[in-house]
Amino acid sequence: MRPLRRILSLSFALSLACTAIIAAHQPAPAAAATATYYLDATGGNDANAGTSTAAPWKSLGKLTVTTFHAGDQILLKAGQVWTGYVWPKGSGTAGNPIVLSSYGAGARPRINGAGAVGSTVKLHNQQYWEIRNLEVTNTAPATGTPGANLKDLRGIHIDGDNGTTLNHLHVDNVYVHDVSGQVNWIGGDTTGNAPGVTFQTGWDNSKKTGGIVFDTTVADIAQPGTAPTILNDLLVQNSTISDTSFAGIVVKQYTGDATGATATGWGNRTSTGDTNFHPHTGVVLRNNYISQANTAYGCNGVYLTDVRGATVTGNTVYKAGTSAIETYLSDNVTIERNEVYQTTQKAGGADSNGIDPDKGTTNVLVQYNFVHHNGDGILLCQFSFGSVVVRYNILKSNSRYPIYLHSDKAATAAIYNNTIYNDVSGYLTYGYGTSLTSTYSIRNNIYQSTKANAVLTTSSTITYGNNLYAGTLTVPPSDTSPRTGDPKFVNPAVSGPYGTATSGPQLATGLAYALTAGSPAIDTGVAISGNGGADYAGRTLYNGAPDIGALEYGAS
């Protein structure tokens, strides 16, 4: 039987080889055909095919009941207006996202949720989407209206609850404005509750109203399961977000503290290496204009929480409430080349700062920012633990504390080569109480105040070194190599221009704090390793010996 078995084996092998050869010469399966769909609010008809400008669909409802495929485009006619919401179904693939955008000449197509829907534009458990060139709003009634039963409202809402990683969720060149909704705070005092404002709502029930919101939850709060939903590759760029309740842009992860929850979620972070922490990843917010100038309920420009790996760059944030740019329970975040100004207290919020690395934030880099005319300039509020580098920023005319030291004992901060000019407050660097047990290294900074007896807080854990102290400032005892005298700025009284929706951040205005010949800050700094290689103006470090302050004299 052995020869027969061998013959059968050889026959089977030859059969497999022939099958492989035939398969190799078969044509590859055709890629799924992509399509472009058009929507025209005045000239369309839902009975049309929708695949040409000559036969467009009409209603938003047509998009909501259609499942789109990788590479498809959904285009709304420019200059048209719709009332309602958009929730198209389906997902793209890597390299073939689904695009929701516009066609034709004219203003961005406008979609108004009119307060009748939680989110005007929505994606849920979807990925590989790009949303572009739309105008989005969601208002009615106005936040704070007595008796109004407001809930969380959003302009664009991208969320998930399916226990997977959802990738490539991009928003580009949109105009989101006038989004009302409830302002819910994590903690605080309920005696401050007012129409449109509620305190002590917990993490998952708070801070979900805004212009553009990315967040996650679980499909069944009573049985949340064990797998986190993670959002990866989030982008908001070239957009204007204005006059939205609570925040312009929000990123949040689920923690499990909502009513009825029976398990901990993934947004909390109890230590730097907490294995239960599953943050969102790959977040970029760039070249946006965020303004809360015309609402008393706009509490944050950017609220960036539960992320690992994020860049916030080239943005202008104007007249936010509480914080222009805040990070919370996050790791590896760079905040650079932004202009933030005129942040004020709104909707019961306690703060009014330009930039805030807050609770449980590690490896945060704050650099090359122009921070002016806020309440506090940069607030270091790293409760529980944290690590931050603050360098090469220009802080001007912040009305309370230009640099506010307010972290817990386990946090560390390196603060170097900043230029701090204050003509409206008697403080320059300030902290108190247990916040002074955190470790702060403060070197190579220029401090100038036009106020008599300006304050630089000292403690055993604050080390000042090699700073320039201008005016009547008392040199802190820990600074054994101080410099004093007039820094000889180009124009310390500069009053603009400042950033707008059309101009973007006016970082060049900060060049008024460049040094001129004879400044005691020139060539008197100490070299700092890992300094990023460039000053506030982007010029190479160092030009000869290091200088003090945010701008290196004579650098190319």
Check residue 3 and give its pLDDT: 41
Q: Please, which residues have CB within 8 angstroms of residue 51's CB and are 6 or more apart in sequence?
A: 35, 36, 37, 38
- Asked if 458 contacts 427 with a C-beta cutoff of 8 angstroms, the reply is no
Q: Report how far residue 74's alpha carbon sits from residue 386's, in angstroms, rounded to the nearest whole number.
A: 44
Amino acid occupying residue 10: L
Q: What is the mean pLDDT of residues 278-303?
A: 97
Q: Report how far residue 423's alpha carbon sits from residue 359's, in angstroms, rounded to the nearest whole number.
A: 30
* DSSP-based three-state secondary structure for 506: coil
Report the first-to-last Cα separation within the chain, whole angstroms: 87
E strand or H helix at 357 = strand 352-357
CATH topology of domain 110-513: Pectate Lyase C-like (2.160.20)
Q: What is the mean pLDDT of residues 310-335?
A: 98
Amino acid occupying residue 315: N
Q: Please, which residues have CB within 8 angstroms of residue 240's CB and are 6 or more apart in sequence?
A: 174, 175, 176, 177, 288, 289, 290, 291, 501
Q: Report how far residue 289's alpha carbon sits from residue 517's, in angstroms, rounded to the nearest whole number.
A: 36
373 Ramachandran zone, left/alpha/beta (phi>0; psi -120 to 50): left
pLDDT of 555 over the 90 cut? no
pLDDT of 5 over the 80 cut? no
The better pLDDT of the pair 32, 297 is held by: 297
Instruction: Give the other-Cβ count within 10 Å of 279's Cβ.
Output: 23
E strand or H helix at 4 = helix 2-24
Q: 210: number of CA atoms within 13 Å, CB side?
A: 29
CA 519 and chain centroid, separation: 37
User: Hey, which residues does 504 pair with through a beta bridge?
Assistant: 500
Q: What is the mean pLDDT of residues 521-525?
A: 97
pLDDT of 28 over the 90 cut? no
Check residue 472 and give its pLDDT: 80
Q: What's the angle, vertex CA 108, arms to CA 47 and CA 66, rounded to 5? A: 30
DSSP E strands in 20-115: the ranges are: 36-39, 73-77, 81-83, 98-103, 110-112
Q: What is the mean pLDDT of residues 381-402?
A: 97
- Give 148: exposed, middle or buried? Use CB within 10 Å, 0-12, 13-18, 19+: middle
The better pLDDT of the pair 98, 25 is held by: 98
Check residue 453 and give its pLDDT: 85
Residue 150 pLDDT level (bands cut at 50, 70, 90): confident
For CATH 2.160.20, list the domain ranges present in the chain: 110-513
CA 232 and chain centroid, separation: 14
- Asked if 88 contacts 121 with a C-beta cutoff of 8 angstroms, the reply is no
Check residue 265 and give its pLDDT: 87
pLDDT of 298 over the 60 cut? yes
Check residue 166 and give its pLDDT: 98
Cis peptide before 497 (omega within 30 of 0): yes
Q: Report how far residue 26's alpha carbon sits from residue 509's, in angstroms, rounded to the nearest whole number.
A: 65
Check residue 25 and give its pLDDT: 46
Q: Please, which residues have CB within 8 angstroms of residue 248's CB and are 6 or more apart in sequence?
A: 210, 211, 212, 241, 242, 288, 290, 292, 298, 300, 301, 302, 317, 320
Q: Tokens 């201008």: give the residue.
A: 470
User: Hey, which residues does 304 pair with through a beta bridge?
Assistant: 251, 327
Cis peptide before 476 (omega within 30 of 0): no
- Asked if 542 contacts 518 with a C-beta cutoff of 8 angstroms, the reply is no
Check residue 21 and give its pLDDT: 38
Q: What is the mean pLDDT of residues 264-280?
A: 92
How does the average pLDDT of the chain come out, rounded? 92
Q: What is the mean pLDDT of residues 372-384?
A: 97
To the nearest 10°, the Cα dihedral for 219, 177, 328, 326?
180
Q: Report how far residue 326's alpha carbon sits from residue 301's, in angstroms, rounded to the nearest whole number.
A: 8
Using one digit for the tens of pLDDT, what is the confidence trace for 47-77? 999 999 999 999 999 999 999 999 999 999 9
- Give 67: exposed, middle or buried? Use CB within 10 Å, 0-12, 13-18, 19+: exposed
Q: Please, which residues have CB within 8 angstroms of residue 488's CB and are 6 or more apart in sequence?
A: 515, 516, 517, 518, 519
DSSP E strands in 381-514: the ranges are: 386-391, 394-396, 403-405, 411-416, 419-422, 427-431, 439-443, 446-449, 455-456, 462-465, 468-470, 483-484
In degrees rounded to 5, what are phi and psi of residue 11? Answer: -60, -40
Structure tokens at 297: 């309920």
